[in-house]
């Protein structure tokens, strides 16, 4: 296998899993660990990956990765999280789903619900739920973010604050070990804060890769969340903190 093909394969794995290790890649591609380290260094220098101890992760910074790449990242875990989240939402509930690929998965899992009022600032979620006969859909106004179909800005906030939701389902771009919930776009973060403030119950849906990424803007903390649905155990210190905050963690 040529270097370019191997590095392309490494990127494909990183996009699916969020993180790659030198040892595992060396076994997968049948090359030495030194060869993989060189590949990762070159990919990092090109801005495709960020090096960490023992491997590399998708790069984080002040900009999120592309929507289509995020949707394929940990897709199976997102589907499991989405099904568990849908099971927490009863018939006749009012629910807000914010911008994100995991919340889009939750929307697909809600297709069979009856008597549901779903409010969203995600045009992709509105499109998904438009095919659900038992769900009434309210799409906030706002400025369209073409990259992912999100609606942000004052008009979006105005609509959000006109409701009191039974359940808010929120996603995020990153999670800090302290429990801080992070994202990239300040306008999106303002919407997420308003959603939390207007909701009786808050469910955070985020897979384990969010602990491996960073983002600059703080939405809030896990102390603001009633239920955190994820696919792997969280760090022990954070689990203890969540117990003190009365934030339930469910690993699916």
- At residue 214, the 3 state secondary structure works out as coil
The confidence score (pLDDT) of residue 120 equals 98
Residue 151's domain spans which residues?
A: 67-251
Query: How many domains does the chain contain in total?
Result: 2
**Sign of the dihedral through C-alpha 80, 156, 202, 66:** positive
How many angstroms separate the Cα of 83 from the Cα of each of 74, 77, 78? 15, 10, 9
The confidence score (pLDDT) of residue 59 equals 66
Task: Assign residue 99 the CATH number of its domain.
Answer: 3.40.50.1360
0.85 surpassed by pTM: no
Nearest-angstrom CA–CA distance, 86 and 49? 34
- Regarding whether 87 and 53 lie in a shared domain, the answer is no
pLDDT, tens digit, for every residue of 10-49?
988 887 777 889 999 999 999 999 999 999 999 988 878 8
Confidence of residue 60 (pLDDT cuts 50, 70, 90): low
pLDDT, tens digit, for every residue of 121-170?
999 999 999 999 999 999 999 999 888 899 999 999 999 999 999 999 99
Is the residue at 185 inside a domain? yes
């Amino acid at each position: 296998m040529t270097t370019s093909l191997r590095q392309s394969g490494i990127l494909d794995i990183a996009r699916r899993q969020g993180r790659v290790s030198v040892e595992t890649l060396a076994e997968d591609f049948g090359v030495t660990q030194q060869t993989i380290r060189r590949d990762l260094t070159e990919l990092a220098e090109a801005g495709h990956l960020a090096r960490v101890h023992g491997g590399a992760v998708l790069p984080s910074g002040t900009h999120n990765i592309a929507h289509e790449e995020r949707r394929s990242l940990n897709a199976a875990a997102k589907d499991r999280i989405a099904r568990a989240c849908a099971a927490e939402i009863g018939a006749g509930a009012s629910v807000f789903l914010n911008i994100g690929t995991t919340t889009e998965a939750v929307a697909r899992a809600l297709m069979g619900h009856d008597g549901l009022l779903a409010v969203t600032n995600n045009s992709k979620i509105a499109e998904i739920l438009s095919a659900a006969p038992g769900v009434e859909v309210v799409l906030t106004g706002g400025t369209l973010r073409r990259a992912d179909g999100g609606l942000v800005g004052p008009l979006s906030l105005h609509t959000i604050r006109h409701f009191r939701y039974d359940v808010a389902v929120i996603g995020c771009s990153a999670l800090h070990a302290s429990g801080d919930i992070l994202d990239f776009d300040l306008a999106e973060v303002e919407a997420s804060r308003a959603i939390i403030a207007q909701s009786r119950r808050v469910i955070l849906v985020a897979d384990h890769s969010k602990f491996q990424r960073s983002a600059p803007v703080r939405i809030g903390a896990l102390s603001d969340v009633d239920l955190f649905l994820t696919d792997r155990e969280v760090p022990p210190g954070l689990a203890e903190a969540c117990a003190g905050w009365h934030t339930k963690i469910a690993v699916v």
